[in-house]
Amino acid sequence: MVDKIINLDVKHLQSGIWNLLEKSIKNDKIGSAYLFSGPSGVGKEAMAIEYGAAINREHLNDDKSVADASYTRFKNLQHELLKLIVPLPAGKTQKDNINILESLNTADLELLKYNIAQKSTNLFHKIILPNATRIRINSIRELRKSLYLKSNDIGKKIVLIFDAHLLSVGQAESANALLKILEEPPPNTTLILVTDKKNQLLPTILSRCQHIDFPPLTKEVIKNTLLKNNVDNESAELIAGISQGNMRKALAISKDSVDNLLKLIQELSMSVINEDGTKWRKFINDNSQMIRKDLSQFQYNIYLLQLWVKSVYHLRIGVSDELHRPELLNVMQQFNQKYPKADLQNIDILLEDAIESIGRNLYMSLILTNLLVNIQKHLK
């Protein structure tokens, strides 16, 4: 399937929003703070990077080669005027005066560098570190110090805050620290907060940002992108349907064959539905380790389980579904015959809660055990 991702121009994928932002550059009406919000995987982070890169290219338009070099550095996340803030783990120390990156252990620091490098080559890549459940107060303190320093660089300072809703975790110290910056915007600076969950941000922060709401990507847009990335038509049609407007999920799914995808969905669904101690132990052990090593893969597994549950429900009510294929259909029919009163909606909620529990630093083996037990209760 997809080995190297190409043809991911967010300006085309979200053309309506890009036209609005491009107009702000041309008319010199660039705001001091924006909030990019909307569903996951629709290009919010990619658009924030594109917008910052375009802003600073515009400042250098008198010299095309210099402007293009600035644009490339920004897209590679290596620009001198770019400040990138993401959720980070607690680190080795909580001292207020220590640099936030110096506080990370070696493994987390290397993983952060790797994720940033991946992001620079695929703007739909998600930067995720284990146990990174909040945006750290020191990240915002360091940001405040740097933004008010005079700079000889030509252009505008751009601050990108990904997963901005995690400013509000705990006592919302990071959110309150950022609020002070938003109340007294530094000169020649634009902050772009990006989030899937803007309802978790403080109202005072929401009120100080220009809101840009991103719609889900259409099935046609995702399918055409996959086709341009050498995915065959049948697979592209299936993946575009089950990705539900989320390009990141579509790209993740397209890394493997459809046959392997359907096999994985079958294995996962059988692991959680059947009261089989051996399969339950394997599911709990495998996914507990996965959360520590590759959180995105765990989230992907839960997503596939949710797809299966929704597809079973669609079969029950007579609605067509992309997963109603011979490889899965027979098992789905048997499930509906065996569990005609299964509460599929609550099972879907249980799966969603399992993902949310990660951010609360709970004991995941226990969470997964309770998930399997509670699913059985909703099958009866």
Quote the pLDDT of residue 133.
86
Q: Tokens representing 46? A: 């990619």
Q: Look at residue 229 and tell me if it is in a domain.
A: no
Q: Look at residue 228 and tell me if it is in a domain.
A: no
Containing domain of residue 85, as a range? 10-213
Tokens 């996340």 belong to residue: 77
Quick one: 205 and 312 in the same domain?
no
Give the least confident one: 17-31, 141-155, 221-235, 338-352. Answer: 141-155
Grade residue 266 by pLDDT with cuts at 50, 70 and 90: very high
The answer to whether 296 touches 246, Cβ cutoff 8 Å, is: no
Amino acid at 100: I
Quick one: 81 and 205 in the same domain?
yes
More confident site: 234 or 6: 234
Q: Look at residue 361 and tell me if it is in a domain.
A: yes
Q: Look at residue 96 and tell me if it is in a domain.
A: yes
Cα–Cα nearest to 88, from 100, 73, 98: 100
Q: Residues 334-349: what's their mean pLDDT?
A: 94
**CATH number assigned to the domain comprising residue 77:** 3.40.50.300
Give the least confident one: 71-85, 138-152, 215-229, 258-272. Answer: 138-152
Q: What percent of the chain has pLDDT over 90?
A: 63
Q: Look at residue 143 and tell me if it is in a domain.
A: yes
Quick one: 54 and 117 in the same domain?
yes
Quick one: 209 and 269 in the same domain?
no
Quote the pLDDT of residue 32.
95
Q: What is the dihedral of CA 303, 308, 311, 316, to 10 degrees?
A: -140
Question: Between helices 277-293 and 364-379, what is the axis angle to 10°?
Answer: 140
- Angle (nearest 5°) at CA 134 between 130 and 137: 125
Quick one: 180 and 76 in the same domain?
yes
Quick one: 193 and 329 in the same domain?
no
Quick one: 158 and 306 in the same domain?
no
For residues 55 and 26, give the distance between their C-alpha atoms in angstroms, rounded to a whole number.
9
Quick one: 90 and 143 in the same domain?
yes
Expressed in angstroms, the distance from the first to the final Cα of the chain is: 40
Supply the DSSP symbol for 240: H
Quick one: 32 and 121 in the same domain?
yes
Q: Please, is 128 exposed, middle or buried when counting C-beta atoms within 10 Å of its C-beta (0-12, 13-18, 19+)?
A: middle
Q: Residues 189-197: what's their mean pLDDT?
A: 96
Quote the pLDDT of residue 364.
79
Q: Residues 44-55: what's their mean pLDDT?
A: 96
* Chain segment 54-80, per-residue pLDDT in tens: 999 887 777 888 889 999 999 999 999
Count the domains in the chain: 2
Provide CB contacts within 8 A for 58, sequence distance 6+.
25, 67
Q: What is the pTM of this model?
A: 0.86
How many Cβ atoms sit within 10 Å of the Cβ of residue 275? Answer: 11
* Among 181, 213, 245, residue at a domain's last position: 213
Quick one: 49 and 173 in the same domain?
yes
Quick one: 187 and 303 in the same domain?
no
Quick one: 276 and 141 in the same domain?
no
Q: Look at residue 42 and tell me if it is in a domain.
A: yes
307: left (phi over 0), alpha (psi -120 to 50) or beta: alpha
* Among 179, 213, 247, residue at a domain's last position: 213
Q: Look at residue 126 and tell me if it is in a domain.
A: yes
Q: Look at residue 243 and tell me if it is in a domain.
A: no
Q: Please, is 179 exposed, middle or buried when counting C-beta atoms within 10 Å of its C-beta (0-12, 13-18, 19+)?
A: middle
* Among 162, 192, 213, residue at a domain's last position: 213
Q: Which helix (H) or strand (E) holds 146?
A: helix 137-147
Q: Which helix (H) or strand (E) holds 160?
A: strand 157-161
How many Cβ atoms sit within 10 Å of the Cβ of residue 64? Answer: 10
Quote the pLDDT of residue 26.
93
Across 12-21, 265-274, 275-284, 368-377, the highest mean pLDDT is recorded for: 12-21
210 pLDDT more than 70: yes
Per-residue three-class SS string for 59-119:
CCCCCHHHHHHHHHHHHCCCCCCEEEECCECCCCCCCCCCCCCCCCCHHHHHHHHHHHHHH
2 pLDDT more than 80: no
* Chain segment 125-164, per-residue pLDDT in tens: 999 888 888 999 999 999 998 888 776 667 899 999 999 9
For residues 93 and 313, give the distance between their C-alpha atoms in angstroms, rounded to a whole number.
48
Sign of the dihedral through C-alpha 77, 78, 79, 85: positive
